Amino acid sequence: MVMKKYLCTAASVAMLCSAMAASDMAESAREAARQYGAAVRNCDMVWALDSMYPPLRRSYADQTNGRSREAEIARARRIQGLDVETKEEARARMAANDKALRARYARMGQEMKKSGMVIESYTVGTPTAEYVVTPPMAAVRDVRRDASGRLRAEDIGSTTERSRVVILPTTLVVSVPRADGGRNRMERRSFIYAVRDEIIADHTQSRGTVLNKWYFIDGNTDVNTLRSYFPNLPLNLRLPRCSNRVLR
């Protein structure tokens, strides 16, 4: 049960053909993901939280600290315009929500260690896909290389806003103690989204991101949630196969 409880959390543009070498950007994402994996191996869930894509983190924070009846009523009244929240009040509310989420992740890491769970390895494979995402009314461009191996200028394009999404396969091996003193081991093959904002035009709607810094979204995240941030992602993403298997 402990393994199942935490497995999903720990495992927490241009399309690349399987034979096509990953771009320099994708390799940069892969290297950043290795650092993310090091935190996961140490059960440092706070570090993992700090690496989460900020808009998604904000959404999780609101959910974590907004499940009480009072919080739901207050949110409904704000949506209906019955209560007007000042900028200072909104910042204070979001800070409180984020603090609660951070505490939750800290407890999660502590419980993982206390249970005797060990993350034996967390490896990041070759990127399976890379998408350059422009504003919602624009198209997603295929990133390809010319004969010299350089990215073509028309693929990169010039736009007032641009983000990048790289899909990275991951392999996680965990073990938990058994009552007889042995350990049960399991391997989970999954993936994560590496995301970074490269150009932001509208600074009135802060995403809370640092330009060109890689953030991560767990592959268990509903793809429609991903599209709420990047509406023009393709309908058929090139996602790695996911599987679980017991190891001996």
Q: Tens digits of per-residue pLDDT, 120-163?
A: 999 999 999 999 887 554 444 445 555 555 555 445 444 567 88
Q: What is the DSSP letter of 209?
A: P
Residue where the block lists tokens 């502590």:
110
Helix axes 87-114, 54-64, angle to 10 degrees: 90
Whole-number pLDDT of residue 231: 83
Banded model confidence at residue 5, pLDDT cuts 50, 70, 90:
very low
Tens digits of residue pLDDT in 186-226: 999 999 999 999 887 766 566 788 889 999 999 988 888 88
Rounded Cα distance, 53 and 209, in Å: 8
Whole-number pLDDT of residue 75: 63
* 113 contact partners, CB below 8 Å, separation of at least 6: 43
Q: What is the DSSP letter of 151?
A: B
Whole-number pLDDT of residue 183: 92
Taking the CA of residue 115 as centre, how many other CA atoms within 13 Å lie in the half-sphere pointing to its CB? 21
